[in-house]
Amino acid sequence: MDRTSLSLIGHAPLLKTSSETLINRFRITSFPKLIVLRDAKASYYTALSPRDMRDHRRLLSWMKSVWLPMVPELSAANSHEVMQGRTVVLAILDRTLKDLEQTKQKMKAAALEWLDVRALEDKTEKQELREDKESKIEQAKEKGDKKAIERAKGIQVTLKPKKEVGFAWVDGVFWGRWCRGTYGVDVRETGPRIIINEQDVPSLTIELY
């Protein structure tokens, strides 16, 4: 953890605690547990074994995927980090409009809702995999097949990788030329828009009211 913390400088503080209040608040049942808090929303690092907690590269890769704000402002400095390897819901906004903060809050609410949906999908998938594993163990026991029992017990409950989805917003006035050239959107003419960006190629444009 000390080694990993060096990579977090400028992104987020890394804290450790044994607080029972926090353990109860975040419903921690196994230790150690690593979580990230963004806008008071917790995301959990999935460690299937102690080795996973000591896997520096895997740990750092996960941290990089969650150390940005829930809905960061896209800039020249973070564009590669925000856009690479994921589907991005990008709001092109006009910073001069009075409802800018309200619109950003709506984006944040959508991001939080998406995280809840993805978490529920993962929970359901994991439960189905566990039930399938238990079913195979029981079937092997009924047949009295010791080798099949051991194979079934050795099945790892691992979720299939899913395409990461991120949320961000960009100042469509300051970055007007880029927005027009990349997405064909001019907020001065069309007003705010939402772009669904798949692998750096815009696939859908939505009006934002």
Tens digit of each residue's pLDDT (9 = 90 or more) over 57-115: 888 888 877 778 889 998 888 888 888 778 899 999 998 888 899 999 999 999 989 98
The H or E element that residue 149 is part of is helix 146-153
* Rounded Cα gap, residues 93 and 102, in angstroms: 11
pLDDT tens per residue across span 9-62: 777 788 888 899 999 998 888 888 888 888 778 888 877 677 777 888 888 888
Q: Tell me, what amino acid is at 163?
A: K
- According to DSSP, the residues that pair with 198 across neighbouring strands are 87, 201
Among candidate residues 128, 196, 206, the one with its CA nearest the CA of residue 163: 196
C-alpha distance from residue 203 to each of 81, 89, 182 (Å): 20, 11, 12
Asked whether residue 131 carries a pLDDT value surpassing 80, the answer given is yes
C-alpha distance from residue 200 to each of 66, 85, 113, 184, 190 (Å): 20, 9, 23, 14, 22
Bigger pLDDT: 207 vs 22: 22
In order, the DSSP letters of 164-177 are -EEEEEEETTTTHH
8 A C-beta contact, residue 194 and residue 208: yes
8 A C-beta contact, residue 130 and residue 155: no
Residues 6+ away with beta carbon under 8 Å from 141: 149
- According to DSSP, the residues that pair with 38 across neighbouring strands are 41
Q: What is the pLDDT of residue 160?
A: 82
Among candidate residues 57, 59, 28, the one with its CA nearest the CA of residue 42: 28
